[in-house]
Each structure stands twice: as C-alpha cells, then as structure tokens.
Structure 1
C-alpha cells in the first residue's frame, strides 16, 4: 500500500503530510509525559488550568444541552455567544469535542493541543512552499513556526494557536489570488480567520494591509485596479458572512472597560518601562520566557504579554544572514516596518483594536512567520555567508547575556537612602536566567556544527536541520512546560477535588442558588457548573462591569468581591460559601475562620465538609427576586460612604433619574422634591440614605425584610427564567432580580408584555401590579444574532453568485481560446 501511494502521489505532494506527522509526533513526545503525570489530563498552570479546561467542559455541555443563549452559571449571568466566541465557539477544535461525553472533555485537551501543533506546521508549510524551490526548506520552516518561542509561550493560552494556524492560510490565500489568479479562496480565508477569533483577526487585517502595500510598493506585485476591486469584493463578502458570530460578539462586548482605553500622550509614543525594548530584542535570541514568571526583564510589566519570537536551533542567525544577502527585498522592508510597530506603543496597539489598557504583543506570531520565511530563504541561497551571520548572532547573544547577567544592582534603604546590599545581575532569578542562556548558546553551537558539517549536501543539510530543530525544541520546551507544570499551585487541587468531582457536592438546591468561593482555585464553580458570584472570565456581560464600577470595586478579568463588601452576598442571592481545606490551611490567615473561631463575614454558619471543602450557609440569604419599599436616585447613592455601599444596596432600589420619573407613583419622585438634588447644590439635598444604619442588627433586619418580600419560586429555563411573586396584599411595585441587564431579555407578567428596566447600575426589574399573584417569565434572545444570521445568509448568496460569475467567465475564456 505505501508503494502505491508513493506511485500515485509524487514525493513533492507528500511534504504537507510529512510536516504534519513530524509535528504531531514531536508534540506528542513533548506533552505525553505531562499528560501521563496528570492522570490523562494535560495540566499546566495559571490561566490554562482554571480557564481553558473549565471553559471547554462548560461550553461543551451547554451546546450539547441545546442552550445557546443566556448562561446563568458564568459569573452573575452572561450571553454565551458574546462571552465565548473569543475563546471557543469559532474554533474547529472545540467542535471536535461535541460527540464526546462531558467527563471526557478534560482528557481531550492534551490531544487537541498536539493536533494544533500539527496544523500550525502544515499551514505554515502551505504558505512557505511558494518561496523556495526545494520544499524540504518549507518543511523546515513549518517546524520552526509550530515550535517557535511564541507557540511554546502561548501553550499557557490554549486558544491562541487557532489564529496561529489561520494566519499562514490567510497569506497563502492572498498569494494565490495575487500570483495565481485563484478566485473565491481569499473570501473563504477571510471568513474562516474572522470566525476562528475576531480579536486576532483585527491584527491580521492590519498585517495583510501592510503586506499588500509592501509587495505593491516594491513592485513585487504589479498593481491592477480590476484585481484590486475583486480582492476588495472578496474581503467584503468574507467579512460580512461572519455577521452571525461577529455582530452579537461586538454588541455583547461594547462597554467592556478593557477595550475602552485609547493611546494617550507620550505613552503612545514611548513605552514607560524601557525594559520592554530589551525584552522585545531578547525574545528573538533566547527561548520563550514563562508568561507569569519573566526572568530577563522583571521590571518590564510584561507578564502574559506574549513577547516571544525565538526560532529553535537557528534563533536570529538565519534572519541576519538573509539581511546580509538580500539587501533590497519586500521581506526585509516588511520586517523593518514590523520592528517599528513593535517599538512604538500606538502602532503596537493597532494590532489589538487600539486598546492601550495593558501591553500585549499577541501579534508577534505574524512576525515570526516572516522571520521563518527569511530564514529558509537564507538556507536555500548559495550566497549566504553563514560565518558572518553566526558571528553577529553569537555576539548579540553573548553581549546581552553579559550585560544583564553581570550588571551590578544596588538596593537602598527607603528611609535613610543608604545602600543595603549589592547583587550581580538584573535578572529575576539567577538559576533560571543562566539556564536560558545555556540553552540559547547550546542551540547556537548545534546550528554551527550542522552548518559546518552538512551545508554542502542539501539533502543531509535539511535532514539535520529537521533533527536539530526538533531536538532543540524538545529540550527547551521540556524545561519551559515543566517549570510551569511543577510550579502550579492549582493542579493538585483540581485533579483530586474539583475536576469531574461535582457528584461529591450533595446539597439539594446547589444548582438553583449562588455560591461564594473563599481563597479557592479560580472558576471552581465553573468546573462544577454551579452558579457563583466568583468568575475568572474577562468577556462577561458589560452590566456586571458597570455594577462593580459603581461600587468602586475593580472588575477587569475576574469577579472576586472582598469580604469587606459582605452586603453583596445576600443582595446577589448568594447562599453558600466554599472554603478549601485540602491545602491544610485551616486556622491560617487564608481560612474563612478567624483566630477567635468566628467566620470572617457576619451571618454565616458551618454546614458540612465535602470534597475537602468546608461549606458554610448564609443565614442572611435572600432568595432571587424581591421588592423594596424605598427607592433612591443614582446621585443619592453617591452620598453613601464607599465602605457601606454594599450594605446600602439592601435598603433601597437604585434607579436613574428617568426611571425615577417613569415610575413616580412607586418611587415617590417629583420634580419639586428632587429639584435640589439635580440643581446647583446637590450636597444640600436631604437623602434617605442618611438614615441607613449599618450595624449587625440592622443588617440582619434588612436582609430578613428583603427575604420576606421575595419570590415564592424561581427557576431558570432553557432561554431565560421564570418566577412567582404573591402581591395580593401589595401595591404596584418593581420586582428586582440580580440578573445582569441585557437588551436581549423580554418579560411578561401574567402573560402581558412589560418593560425590562435596568436598575442598580446593571440588573433588571419589572413592574408588578397590585393585588395580584404574579407569574413572571423572562425570555432571552442573543442581541444581534438573528440579524447577523440574515446578513450572513445574504453574504452567502453573494458569494455563490460571485463564484458562479467567476466560473462562467473562466468557461467563456476557455471556449474563446479553443
């Protein structure tokens, strides 16, 4: 059979399969030992453990359950599509998990990661093969890309490899359009790249523009208006076709504070931490650093920034060689432009939608592919002066090593200003730094030996390059992955007491109420798929962000309310608290029990211990859906001291002025009464907030009052929730639910449609009539989804028409030729 395959397909056609299989085997060798140590699950550390694994399992189960709308078990509630399209929903690798059971999903993470490495090498090969005559070098380039420093660094972010896979295919499709006259392919590539990850797609669009301009301005490609218009048409069709996932994602994330900070002043021109410039350079000459434990430039403020670009075995030697040989080329100029973009903050931010709230270099994989292209072209050129390139590469590596490793650093006393001690080296840790240096130098030495011994024989040279790249990749990557794996503080806990351990929690109503997790592994609730006020996920409902901001609580990447805002727990209908005991911290400062044996928040009582978690019950618990007898304007809430805002939430419903006026018969609003508050001297307004009392007895009393006026039943449905409230003895009122507000919600009360109002800075309420038992039903539809689907269908129709026209024109041309 193998001989028949070889006869049918020439050797050149097997290169794609070859690079794919080599990468799969190498990635298996890299990750399999850690999978075995994890009992079948690939654990790493940090975000990988507490985000990627539970995200996959939760969304997998949600999709299989047929619920594609509102997720009540992510933070306080959020839209699934807008929250997880960035992480999962556009990834073909995620959809491969759907046929498997929920329990199997964590065990698929490792194999999927291995598959991603294989696909990354194959996609890079498909792009690179155009630029070399010997496809062995394209194979080498595919391996360099797949096992580059960027790729290994971002194992930490499991969803970053999908854009790495799509990007070379996007460029390959563009090249096919430009140089081969192939039509429709680029539209498909644009569509796929955007669906896979819209955030990374923004950077890819910018790169493609720079790429196109560079090959046009250097006259590598002869610009033709007709072709450009067709190219623009394909871009438009491909992009518009993504509306079904892009439109709801954009609508759902509008207002997210992480996307709102634009470049400003000198910070947009020069990095405030000069170490960033060093880190960018060092990332080219040394193996990938650890995302959470930077060793080269500890003061660069670049944790998790993805500043990594090293090519295994060759480093920058091939790029330096290419620069020396090809003094005038579009690629050399493109790399120079990318270097400028990397070093100027405002230009760097263009790759991430102009967001400057935090420094990221998550577009470096695009530059890596260009570095790989330069390297393999240097390999293939007979004019390459490798001795000179090696001297430059070694000189920079050794020079940087000595400057950082031997630079004296003096530490002074803050009060006296006297020097306390002096150490040698500016790096974070001595051992790890010199290990990185050793790996870089050994890699360079191995490359020198391969060049000296095998350069004259092209076949042996490519074979030894492949062996060298794979050997160095495994050697350096084992160190990086192992450092993360063994430094993890969450792996043991997740493995023994959390993952697939939901059955160990036997609380009858645990699925219907919210819980708190004190000093526990992030997203423990998400592993168990129960509701919680804790969540480590940055792309949740913007209403959650707005609520925490109004209280002066930071909510950027996670919801982790401190114990001093204990009033939030009953306000958010939080009934249970979990305190992990498996780490032996009982009685320590990290325990929920203080030194006197009391709980660190008032009103909590020990219930039981399960899965080595001590579980406490909130005796101030307020069921979901309750009414208030007082109403205050948002401006009045500002009068409340910051230390008591969480408790003040329990005394009165907070409304914007327009709602105070709209429901004046309930709120007691009148222009005359509130004239002073909205006048020139609001500080003189006599607000009822001044009567709020915050001692423990009043806290207990107000919680009991809210609980007494709560819904008699509440349950989530497939597309929302429903509740019952007995208002037979009450007047017209507003019924409050601590569910984040979204325009996707519609509500009925006793079968009649009613307005859904945004109250308390981010939650929902509906009006209930007096003297009636009220059946309240909320239904949810993802905003923009139905419109997006219609737009995508129209784009599909346009694509089919476009394809038909292209096919017809080709047939006519062939007929005329004949």
Structure 2
C-alpha cells in the first residue's frame, strides 16, 4: 500500500466508514433474509416487482441489442420508451444491467438497493463533514441516520428515487459554496444529476431548495439578491443540461390520467399527534398505504434531542433558529394539509405512496440536529446543560402526541422512545459529572446512535418482507423459448392469459398489450376500459379480450400455464416446458383500413358489447356482432337493491360482507359462446360457477369474461362478495352477450381484406403496404402519440387519434407504401437545450479554473 493511499485512508477514514459500514450492515441483512445469491429471495417488493423489474428487463434487452431508445412494443401495444426511461430507469448506475444475464437481474437490483442506500449515507456524511470541518465518528452516525431512516427503508423498493435522496446533501452543500464562495458549479451539477435521474422527485427537491434559499442566513439584503440571481441562473442551467430527459418526460407525463388537476377539498388529514408518533423508536416503516395521512419520519431519537438542544442554546442566533423552525413547521404542516401535499406531489394524487417528500423534512431536521451537536462538542460542559431543555421538550411532545393521536399508538414504541431518551440522558449526566471525558462521551453517544439506527434498519427490512424469485420466474426459460419460436416481429403480438405480476409480459419482453406504469396514457386507459379490458388509474391489462379485439390488436398467441382456468377462443398450438401456446384462428395485422364512418363511432357507452358492436359496424360495415342476453335480478343476502334501471344496473346497500351478497343466475336456452361483463367498485371477490362447479374466482370485475361454449340447459352462477367498509353501498352493472359466429367470420374476412402488410420493422421505424378500395382511414393498433411521423409514398401526412387513443391517417384509394417513424416529443428541442447548457457549464468551469490559476500566480 502506497503512502498516498495510507494518507487518504487516514484523512477520510470516517467518511469512508459512512459508506462501508452501511454496506456491511445491509449485506448482512441480505444474508439473513436469504437474498440472492444467498438464497432465492429478493428485495423487489410491491411495484418494484410488478412494474420496475419488467421495465428493467425491457431496458436490458435494448442495451444489449442496441435497439432504439425512443419506442418499445413490449407493452401497452407500444409505448414511449424514452418517457418511461426518464421516469424509472435514467440513473447511470442502472447501466450495470448490461453486463449481466437476465437471470441475474433480480439479484443485481437487490444489491443496487444496498449500494444506493449506502451512497445516501455517504453523501449525507460528506455534507456533515463539511459543516463540522473535520473527519470524525459523528458524520458516520448522522449520515446513517439519513440513509437508514424509516423513509429510506420503507420506500427503498422505489429504486428509481434513491439518486435524488443521494444528491440532496451535495446540492445543499453546493448552495453553501454558491453563497459563500460565489461558485455554483457543484450545486448546478448535483441538481442536474438529480433531475436527470428522476424528474418527479427532483421537482419536490426544487420546491424545497426555494424554501431553503429564502430561509438561508444571508449577510445582507444585497447579498440575498445577488446570490439569488446566481441561484436562479445555476438552477435554470441545471434544468437546461437535463432538458434532453426533462422535456420528453414532461410531455409524456402530461398525457397520463394523473395530469388532470383535481385539488383535494379536505382541510386536514388528521391530528399532528398522528404524524409526530412516526418519529418514535420501533415504528414499523411504511411501504405503501391508501391513507394519505400515513408517513415515514423516524430518523433517530438523538436527532430529536439535538434538534431541541439547537433551539435551546444561546450560541446559535435566534434568527437562525426561527428560520430553521419555520422550514420544519411548514413541511410538517404540508404532511397534514391535503392541498399542500397535492402541490408537493406535482399536483398529483399520492396513490398509495403517501408523503413522498418526507425525505426533505428528515434531512432538514438532521441538519439542524447536527448543528446542535456541533455546538455541544465545541462548547464547554456547562453548554450541555441545555440538553435538559431538549429532554423536557421531547417529553412534552410525546405527551401531546399521546393525548391528540386519533390512531392507536403501540405503547412499545412509546416505551422504547422514552428508554432511548433515558440512555442518552445517562450519558449526558455522566459527562456533566466529569466521569466521561468529551472524546469518550461523543464517541459513546455516536456509537449508541449508530446502534439505534442499525437496529431500526434491521427491523424495518424484516417488516418489509421479500419475494421468492422461484415462485415468480420459474417459467422464464420456457416463455423465452416460446418467444424465440413465435415472436417474429412487432405485428406478432402475444400475451400471458394471466400474469404472476401485473407487468409479467413486459418482463418476458413479449410484444403485448399489458401496461401498468405511471406513464400509461390516460386516453388509452379510458379507451381500453370502454372496450371491456381491465383498467386502473395508470394501467390496462390483457384481461377482457374478445375475438374482435384480439384481431383488432393483432393478438396472435396466448400463453397458458397449468394454474390458468380462463377459457380461450384460440386453438391449441403446442406445449413448451410448463407452458402451452394457443394461436388465434384468424389472420391478423397491425393496421387496417376502415370506412370513414368510423369517425362517428360511439365509444362512450358503459356497455362494452355495444361499443364493440358500433365499432364493427361503423368501421367494417357488419351486422350486430354481440347479441345481448337478458339476465334476471340477482338473489340477495344481507343486501338490498334501492334502484334498478332495468338494463342490468343495480344500486344497492349491504349490511355485511358475505360470499353470496349478490348471486346472478344465467340459464342458457341454447348452445352459444357466452360473455359477461360486470362493474362494481364495492365488489371484493367473485366466484363464477358452471353447473355447480367453480370455474373462475378472484378479481373479475371491470372486464369482459368469456364463459366458453355454453350448452343448452347450462346454468351459470356469478356470486359476488361486497365490501364491508364505510360505504356499504354502491352500484353493480352486469350484462351478458353471445357472440354471433357468422358475423364474426364475416368481420374477420373484411379485416383480412383491409389489412396493412408489414414489410419492415426496425426499432422505431415501421413500413408496409396497403391497398385501399376507396379513400379510407388507416387504423393502427398503436396508441396515438405526437411523436409518430407517418409518410404515404414518401410524403408526410397528418395523423389523428381515433377515440382519442389510436393512431390513424387518411389514405387515398389505391396501393400505397406507408412508413412510420417515432421520435419522442420534445427530444430534439431537449437535446439542443442540453448541448447549449453543457457548453455554458464548461465555459463557466474554464472561467473558474483560469481565475484560480491567476490567484495562484499572484501569490
């Protein structure tokens, strides 16, 4: 080992420890939890499993095949990959996935958690070291309090957020340099990295930075304004540098359902005692919750004591205390005020992950606490007497919390918090009595703080739980073989009849329809709902297909597994390992010419069978595809109907939840291909029986369900269990229909005659030929997006959205070559801004270097 390396280790030993100690701790947790490669478990819980992992798989395939980063056909019938990449995948650290096989992806992402959390500890320790001015154990303790706080542990599965938390301490240190040295380069570059990696969480950081600057301790009014111009200029420059990501991301997110403004009407969520109780030792980290008042706030009991000490000591100016306190109080109020929370979340509902901006409050509290700690260790023993004020303040806050909390407090967390305060108080008392020297005292309380934080992290990850990779990915190899054999191009779409995780078809990089993600287009979600597919706020799944929609969406293959019980209209092809492939009996295409009458298509009816009938008639001039089957009123148990519109819609009230609250019975009078569709927000579980045997169960509402070829005399029973909650009332709509097979054959023939013939498909470019019988509309089963450029015989034509959802163009009579090219909206403009931004940044850096050289020469 060279002397230089020894000097670095000696000079920065605690800073390095702030990284390596969390790594050892978290890897120890990984071993204990049997995380791969130490077992078959993974940290990828909640949406990390259902969304992020499949997106990483698509990204990995693009990296390895050098495919276009603009577009992907592996989800949602096609989606703006760059927009999704900007939201989920943009971190440079994620490029490591290009170096490993797909089978190692879950393992690599689990250990990326470890790396990113440890780096959060490291950057926080770096900030505290700069504030303290020396390398000592306290930076390890407070750094770990940030990186291992309950927010980081509970929300760690949001792996795409972690770079923003990682950059925050560097950004704040950059503001220090900007104000004190008039050098904003670090601030600008750190904010650029944050914006690049995740624009959504960085938006919250930017709001916080404005407050941080306004409440900063400026020398005078002139400095406030001159530094304010620097602050604004460097902030805009960082945004310009990241524009190549920000513009496509913004334009993409504005097409989602979440882009609609819906300000909350409530004034408060609950009591402030409910919030403060989340500071207590032993509180379970929150991974997700439908209640927006829930929060992760724990960041150490010593943090609370040192924050109280900061407010008490005379060595800190009153105006500085007021500034810091104002910031914390405003953030604390934001947690409990729906309107402020809505603004903090980008004018967006919190959707199961409440108070995502709490990391800003936690770091601000830790920064204040660390300032208090620095005064403690720099001052004389009598200064530490103010710690008793902090203890009293904590005691008062605990008492108020217990009095005002409207949620049941776990008394063990109260006892644990009081016990921790008592332990720290004993240390302070021994220091006051001169039994402990200052170095022993500071080392001891920092060691106890590290132990406290580490113990909470261990408990937190145990509470989070893990997933067993064997149970989720056992069919990957077989489905990969299926894909190699059958998925020839983007026109060959295939889907899992049901997925173990919501985006499983994306994990297998099938050219599918399923998409569950925050960048799903709102208009497409709405249209898929109208067509009878299962949808959510930001998802549409391949659940609810009919022969018509399968043909329309170019769905050629379905993949079944042994546990799948759903019926299929497809014909058996072959079995590969544990999976079975079924093939669409009709010839299909990615696009079709349609009659101009399709522009009058009524797609807003709540009955999806009517919606499909009207599309088939207006687009292809065929008779009624689905014939409605009359259904009788349901049998009721602990439930009563208060209103009946006579068309399958029932308003009800229930008194309890039973498996048979509502039971619909359909008796078949002839042999038919039967479909049903029902929608009920209060339906918790459904069981469908055929002649007394259960054929389907689970979440079956809000989608068309194929019941197979029902024989004359067959009896279908649909049993619905209603929720037992605060509502105890709602609406259920149930409709049944039979498919007219003769009309379906005629429709399939018309579609085949009108099919666009794909000749080339490479990345973001498609081309093919069409023979239009007359001037018609060419419909593509691709979501409408302004990023598409369509050319007919080499001439650019105007694109239009059918039903606000699907890409269409006008095509004249005759045979034509039609080509499509996709470039994400905003990319070109963003790239220009980024180049200009980087040029300016490089010039600024050169200026500072020249200035530094000139200063050295003068010396």
Q: Fold-level match, TM-score > 0.5? A: yes
Structure 2 equivalent of residue 560 of structure 1: 541
CA distance in 2, matches of 1:70, 1:696: 37
1:482 aligns with 2:482: no
CA distance in 2, matches of 1:562, 1:244: 36
Question: Is the 1:625–1:723 Cα contact (8 Å) retained in structure 2?
Answer: no
Q: Pick one of 292, 300, 304 that aligns with 2:291.
A: 300
Name the SS for the 1:97 alignment partner: helix
Structure 1 equivalent of residue 357 of structure 2: 363
The CA deviation string for residues 304-353 of structure 1, in whole angstroms up to 9 with x for no partner, is x7x21211453633323333336652323322232233333332333222
Question: Is the 2:14–2:135 Cα contact (8 Å) retained in structure 1?
Answer: yes
Q: Pick one of 304, 310, 316 that aligns with 1:316.
A: 304
Structure 2 equivalent of residue 622 of structure 1: 588
CA distance in 2, matches of 1:152, 1:227: 36
Structure 2 equivalent of residue 573 of structure 1: 554
Q: Pick one of 631, 635, 644 that aligns with 2:610.
A: 644
1:719 aligns with 2:715: no
Question: Is the 1:310–1:316 Cα contact (8 Å) retained in structure 2?
Answer: no
1:526 aligns with 2:506: yes
Question: Is the 2:15–2:125 Cα contact (8 Å) retained in structure 1?
Answer: yes
1:20 aligns with 2:8: no
Task: List alignment gaps of at least 5 residues for structure 1.
Answer: 408-424, 428-432, 594-598, 655-692
Structure 2 equivalent of residue 177 of structure 1: 178
Structure 2 equivalent of residue 274 of structure 1: 270
Name the SS for the 1:544 alignment partner: helix
Instruction: Give how far 1:143 is off.
Output: 1.2
Number of residue-to-residue matches in the alignment: 720
Structure 1 equivalent of residue 747 of structure 2: 702
Instruction: Give how far 1:72 is off.
Output: 0.8
TM-align CA RMSD: 3.6
1:392-407 to 2 correspondences below 5 Å = 392-393=393-394, 396-397=397-398, 400=401
Q: Relative to 1, partners in 2 of residues 1:723 and 1:205: Cα closer, same or farther, differing over 3 Å?
A: same
Instruction: Give how far 1:215 is off.
Output: 1.6
Question: Is the 1:315–1:444 Cα contact (8 Å) retained in structure 2?
Answer: no
The CA deviation string for residues 45-89 of structure 1, in whole angstroms up to 9 with x for no partner, is 221222232222321221332221111112221111111211111
Task: List alignment gaps of at least 5 residues for structure 2.
Answer: 377-382, 621-736
Q: Pick one of 512, 519, 532 that aligns with 1:539.
A: 519
Name the SS for the 2:24 alignment partner: helix
Higher strand share: 2
The CA deviation string for residues 581-601 of structure 1, in whole angstroms up to 9 with x for no partner, is 4xxxx5xxxx534xxxxx2x6
Q: Pick one of 800, 803, 809 that aligns with 2:842.
A: 800
Structure 2 equivalent of residue 381 of structure 1: 375
CA distance in 2, matches of 1:707, 1:482: 56
Instruction: Give how far 1:561 is off.
Output: 5.5
1:230 aligns with 2:230: yes
Question: Is the 1:120–1:145 Cα contact (8 Å) retained in structure 2?
Answer: yes
CA distance in 2, matches of 1:759, 1:747: 15
Instruction: Give how far 1:622 is off.
Output: 3.3
CA distance in 2, matches of 1:241, 1:186: 13
Instruction: Give how far 1:786 is off.
Output: 2.0
Question: Is the 1:516–1:577 Cα contact (8 Å) retained in structure 2?
Answer: yes
Name the SS for the 1:651 alignment partner: helix
CA distance in 2, matches of 1:48, 1:130: 35
The CA deviation string for residues 539-596 of structure 1, in whole angstroms up to 9 with x for no partner, is 1345524534766974423213653877543322223334544xxxx5xxxx534xxx
The CA deviation string for residues 254-312 of structure 1, in whole angstroms up to 9 with x for no partner, is 23221322425x43xx13x426x454322222456454566xxxx8345xx7x212114
Structure 2 equivalent of residue 734 of structure 1: 777
CA distance in 2, matches of 1:748, 1:133: 63
TM-score by length of 2: 0.75
The CA deviation string for residues 438-470 of structure 1, in whole angstroms up to 9 with x for no partner, is 765665565456555678434334443444344
Instruction: Give how far 1:494 is off.
Output: 1.7
Q: Relative to 1, partners in 2 of residues 1:68 and 1:99: Cα closer, same or farther, differing over 3 Å?
A: same
CA distance in 1, matches of 2:178, 2:80: 38
Instruction: Give how far 1:800 is off.
Output: 3.0
Instruction: Give how far 1:9 is off.
Output: 4.2
Q: Relative to 1, partners in 2 of residues 1:517 and 1:447: Cα closer, same or farther, differing over 3 Å?
A: farther
Structure 1 equivalent of residue 160 of structure 2: 159
Structure 2 equivalent of residue 685 of structure 1: none
1:770 aligns with 2:770: no
1:87-486 to 2 correspondences below 5 Å = 87-89=88-90, 91-132=91-132, 135-136=135-136, 137-216=138-217, 223-263=223-263, 266-267=265-266, 270-271=267-268, 273-274=269-270, 277-287=272-282, 289-291=284-286, 300-301=291-292, 307-312=295-300, 314=302, 316-325=304-313, 328=319, 329=321, 330-356=323-349, 358=351, 360-382=354-376, 383-384=383-384, 385-390=386-391, 392-393=393-394, 396-397=397-398, 400=401, 426=408, 440=417, 443-444=420-421, 447-448=424-425, 451=428, 456-485=436-465
Structure 1 equivalent of residue 798 of structure 2: 755
